[in-house]
Amino acid sequence: MKLRNLIVVLSLLGLAACSPEADTPRQAARPPAAHTPATAPPGSAPLDRGLEFGRVVTGGRLYRENCAVCHGREAEGDPNWQRRNAQGRFPPPPLNGTAHTWHHSRDVLKGVIRNGTLAQGGGMPAWKQKLSDEEIDAIIDWIISRWPEEIYRTWREANPPK
Ligand code: HEC
């Protein structure tokens, strides 16, 4: 197996890219080239994401009020998100599909947002005292609405609607 393919496979498994403990810089996640044609046949219509417009608007407002200060107004993240800072923590990653948010199920994302990562030595505050589950779900809907089509398709294959 070529090294590049191995990296793609590892990051798909979440082993290389997702561990906050990893000492190596994080891999920027790209949709694996070999995967894209199978998930997005040429000319196919965009998938219906099952998102409700009003909830996405609410989620976007809550995102700007609570999250944009760290993750960026358009969820673009910190440019140095793959490198530990002087305090040994990873800066806020992009949530817009260019990092590895899409490697995680909705339940996992919800858990990170509810509980944060301060207890594990990370830099993400917990939100469960400040935001309700419905508000967090609306923010996740807004985040998902930002992902490019091929990222959403790949995520949906791993996380089919319940
Ligand atoms: C004080 C800065 C800060 C704020 C405010 C903040 N975050 Fe974070 N967030 C971080 C950091 C830093 C990380 C990386 C955590 C780590 O490495 O332990 C992170 C990680 C995440 C992750 C995991 C991303 C991934 O790809 O695995 C999600 C999802 C997330 N944040 C969502 C949110 C949402 C939603 C809000 C608003 C409700 C928010 N964050 C507010 C700093 C912040």
What are the tens digits of pLDDT across the range 46-86? 999 999 999 999 999 999 999 999 999 999 999 999 999 99
Q: Which residues line ligand 1 (CB under 6 A)?
A: 20, 66-67, 69-71, 90-93, 95, 99-101, 104, 109, 112-113, 117, 122-125, 127, 139
Percent of the chain with pLDDT over 70: 75
Token pair belonging to 39:
């998930």
- Between 36 and 124, residue with greater pLDDT: 124
Cα(128)–Cα(125) distance, integer angstroms: 10
Mutate to test the pocket of ligand 1, among 56, 58, 71 (most ligand atoms within 8 A of CB): 71
Residue 43 confidence class, pLDDT cut points 50, 70, 90: confident
Determine the residue of 62, 70, 85, 110 to mutate for testing ligand 1's pocket, defined as the one with the most ligand atoms within 8 A of the Cβ atom: 70
Instruction: For the chain, give the mean pLDDT.
Output: 83
| Predicted TM-score of the model (pTM) | 0.82
The CATH number of domain 53-162, selected from 3.30.750.24, 1.10.760.10, 3.40.50.300, 3.40.50.261: 1.10.760.10
**Ranges of each domain in the chain:** 53-162
Contact call for residues 54 and 137 (beta carbons, < 8 A): no
b/e per residue 119-133 (b: at least 16 CB within 10 A): eeeebbeebeeebee
